Amino acid sequence: MGKLDGLVVLVTGASSGMGRATALLFAAEGADVALVARRAAALEEVAAEARHHGRRVLVHAVDLADGPATRAAVDTTAERLGRLDVVINAAGTNIPRRALSVLDPADWHDMVESNLSACFHTTQAALPHMRQQGGGLLVYLSSAAVQRPDRSGVAYQATKHGQVGLAHGTMEEERENGIRTTVIFPGLTNTPLLEKRPVPTPPEIVAKALLPEDVAQACLFVASLPARVRVPELAIVPSGI
C-alpha cells in the first residue's frame, strides 16, 4: 500500500520539473492524479508513465492564467475521479530580462498571470469541492528567494511572495471547513527554469542543486500527514550551497 492510497491529487505544472516529479511520485504512492499544464504532448508522456502504477490519470492541457479553463479542469477532475483531496501548485516561470532596469511591463503582467493568478484560479476552483467533502490540502511551491532575496528578479520575487499571502489568507478563511495550506520554499533546483537565467549557472553549482525529486518528496511528506496536522511553511534547500 502506498502513502496516498485513495487520494485524488491535481498537479499544475505537471509537464516538467517539480510538477512532473511530484505527479509521478504521487501516482507511485497510490494516488489518482490530474495533470495540468499547457503542453499537451509533454503531459501525455507523463501520464503514460504515471499509468504504469495502475492509477487513474487525467490530462488537462490548459493555460492556468485562463480562469474559466482552469475551473473546468478542476471541476472535471472532481467529477470524473470522485473527489479532490490535494492540489499541488507547481506551475511557474521566470524570464531572462528580469532586472528592473530592463523589465518590460508586458513581461511583468505575464509573470503575475503565470505565477500568481494561476494559483488563485486553482485555489478558487478547488475550494467548493473541498468544502463539500469536509477537507483538503493546497500546496504552493514558492521559492527560497522569498526568505532570502536574491537576483531572481523583482517580478519573480513579487509573485512568489504573493503565493505566500494567497496560501495563508486562504487558510484563515477556510480552516473551519477542514482545508489546510502549505507553502514550500525550494532553493536552487535543477529544472528547466535554470535555462531562463540571464547568465548560465556554473556547472559546479548546478551539480550541488536540489533535484525535482527532492521537492516531490517534500510534497509527499506534507500530503501524507493526517488531517489533524498542518505544515504552514517548509523550506528545502541544497546543503552544499
Q: Cell 492524479 appears where?
A: 33
Nearest Cα to 230, choosing from 169, 139, 146, 164?
A: 139
Neighbours of 71 (CB within 10 A): 17
Paired residues of 139 in beta bridges: 88, 182
**Given the residues 26, 120, 156, 185, the one annotated as active site:** 156
Cα–Cα separations (whole angstroms), residue 236 to 12, 165, 184: 20, 19, 7
What one-letter code names the amino acid at 19?
G
Q: Is 140 a catalytic residue?
A: no
Do residues 126 and 133 touch, judged by C-beta distance below 8 A?
no
Residues annotated as catalytic (active site), given as ranges = 156
